Chain A
Amino acid sequence: GNSVTQMEGPVTLSEEAFLTINCTYTATGYPSLFWYVQYPGEGLQLLLKATKADDKGSNKGFEATYRKETTSFHLEKGSVQVSDSAVYFCALSDRTSQGNLIFGKGTKLSVKP
């Protein structure tokens, strides 16, 4: 069945460091891929998405590229800020799931000043 695997956390970085959070997936067909973020005390919210191979999703300085050949959707940011501290979830949906998303376990990021 479909699944998402993302790197285990927690990840602790200093401000302005480069961030990569790895995400790989297993899916039949051609899924859409997403990164959701959960800031402390808030609900999950969509950060970025990509709907087909080689698409790049971007938002708030974060980027992720849909790589079909490596079944990956790694999240990157060139210079993190303290305000980026949150839990990040990689997710996929496919045409048969009626909008249901399959999530990874989440990666907690802490950015120190």
Chain B
Amino acid sequence: GAGVSQSPSNKVTEKGKDVELRCDPISGHTALYWYRQRLGQGLEFLIYFQGNSAPDKSGLPSDRFSAERTGESVSTLTIQRTQQEDSAVYLCASSLAGTNTGELFFGEGSRLTVL
């Protein structure tokens, strides 16, 4: 596909379980971003990749959150031992380079519900 693809689109899990969210960026985009959007809140930055390295992990809210990226391709965001406050829409975006051009291309998000 031409756009950023995220899966699953919806995930319902029980408290304490681990979840993996996947992002396929646009081909050729070297920069990849993960954001979280809680109900009624703005987008909260989580982590940024340039290639497969993560120069900015400052937004990860706790050590239960981790992310990896294979080359300049797929990224996985993993949340271990999920808590109810992790319920949110997780958005992935990619761009041609990690510069301040501001044009990020977003996927439709993965909605996570922790019961």
A residues in contact (CB < 8 Å) with B: 4, 32, 34, 36, 41-46, 49, 89, 91, 93-95, 97-106
Contacts and interface: CB of A to CB of B under 8 A. Distances in A.
A91 B48 contact: no
Contacts of A42: 108
Interface residues of B, number: 30
Contacts of B107: 43
Contacts, number: 69
Given A98-B55, A99-B33, A99-B98, A46 B41 contact: no
Interface of B: 3-4, 31, 33, 35, 40-43, 45, 48, 50, 55-56, 91, 93, 95, 97-109
Given A41-B108, A42-B108, A98-B56, A103 B33 contact: no
Contacts of A43: 3-4, 91, 105-109
B91 to A, nearest CB: 7
Contact of B106 (A44, A49, A95, A97): A44
Contacts of B55: 98
3 tightest A-B contacts by CB?
Answer: A43-B106, A103-B43, A105-B42
A76 B70 CA distance: 41
18 contacts: A32-B100, A36-B106, A43-B107, A43-B108, A44-B93, A45-B105, A46-B102, A89-B42, A91-B43, A98-B56, A99-B31, A99-B98, A99-B102, A100-B48, A101-B45, A101-B104, A102-B45, A105-B41
